[in-house]
Amino acid sequence: MDHQMIGANDFKARCSRAKEIMYEKDVDALCLTPSSDMLYLTGFRTEPSERILLCILPRSDEPRFIVPKLYQEQVERETWINDVRVWSEESKLIIQLRNHLKELELFSGKIAISDRLWTRHYRFLQETAPKVRFTFASEVVNQIRMLKSRKEIYLMEEAARFAEGALEATLSDCIQGKKECELAAKLEYQMRVRGSEGVPFETIVASGPNSSVPHYSNGRRRVKVGDPLVLDLGAKFGHYCSDLTRTAIIGYAKPKINKIYELVHQAYQKAVETVRPGVTAAAVDQAARGVIIEGGHGEQFIHRTGHGIGLDVHESPYVHEKEQTGLEIGMTFSIEPGIYLPGQFGVRIEDVVVVTKNGCRTLTKYPTEMAVFGIRA
């Protein structure tokens, strides 16, 4: 299984590709700060913090990490990059950083920085290098990250399996009377014991009227007979995310829930059928949206049909009405139409798909048809 893990050669290939794009876009260097872009190109992952930690990847020079002392050993172990410099607390960081930039001939020019950089750090970088023009790292890295390799898809499939297994284990139990937070805890536990490295987002367990809020988290409401129950969960493996939503019906389905479920299910199927290389992301959104509009609930489909997924749970390509990105083999994104009736209930069905030669395949195999669960025999 280890050979499936992303290794030094993969990181180097990604960096070479990034350099090609830097030439095309006239970007002199990438200045990576803790983010999935840093992880993608260097193999090192950490949360952003108040202390500056960065990796400069010049387009025509060797990459260099500049880190606080406490990260030195970790960065040396976890990345393929050999040049790891430590900045000292003794003298002014701005001077030290200027010296690095001068040495790398990057004191002016165009540098791409993380889209998710803290404003405080951005201001600091501007002050450090006032002549530099800053641009978004996404303009360089997104087009590479969008196309997943077989190894990446393998990791995403494992992460999908963890979520799927957890969903199955949770729904096979009696859930009537259980609190949403208890079910969320169980789902997360079940993912962890299967090998998940953590959750990429707060696990959603939204019962009854809570289900009309798409990004509700979970709370202490107890699940009742007649409730729809939206379960939206994700696992991580090799830092890659999964994302899966099902709406379970507890005990029996009221006719209105039945009707809405059918509509969402048709929209889901229509969108999945539409996916193939060359089709735009917009067309996939329109396919799902068209079904829901025709069913008279267009106003209640209050979000996009889906989002790209990989190291970040939301990344390019976004599946929305105006996204003209043409789909390509190896792209991975969610398809997750939903209908939300405020104060009443909501229904959402979500799977991640990978674009294949002739269409797409879902990373999860859990049935999407309406199913009734959870009451005591």
- Minimum Å gap between C-beta 235 and Mn ion is 13
Pick 152 or 243: Cβ nearer Mn ion: 243
Task: At 372, list the tokens.
Answer: 């009734």
Task: At 258, list the tokens.
Answer: 């039945």
Pick 270 or 348: Cβ nearer Mn ion: 348
Dihedral angle, C-alpha 362, 366, 368, 373, nearest 10 °: -160
- Minimum Å gap between C-beta 313 and Mn ion is 7
- Minimum Å gap between C-beta 334 and Mn ion is 4
- Minimum Å gap between C-beta 336 and Mn ion is 5
If phi > 0 it is left, if psi is from -120 to 50 it is alpha, else beta; for residue 50 that is alpha
SS (H, E, C) 265-283: HHHHHHHHHHCCCCCEHHH
- Minimum Å gap between C-beta 307 and Mn ion is 6
Pick 114 or 242: Cβ nearer Mn ion: 242
- Minimum Å gap between C-beta 352 and Mn ion is 8
Per CB under 5 A, residues contacting Mn ion are 243, 334
Pick 37 or 243: Cβ nearer Mn ion: 243
Pick 227 or 243: Cβ nearer Mn ion: 243
Residue nearest to Mn ion (CB): 243
234-269 core/surface letters (b: 16 or more CB in 10 A; e: else): bbbbbbbbbbbbbbbbbeebeeebeebbebbbbbbb
DSSP string, 181-236: HHHHHHHHHHHHHHT----SSPPEEEEGGGGGSTT----SPBP-TT-EEEEEE--E
Pick 346 or 374: Cβ nearer Mn ion: 346
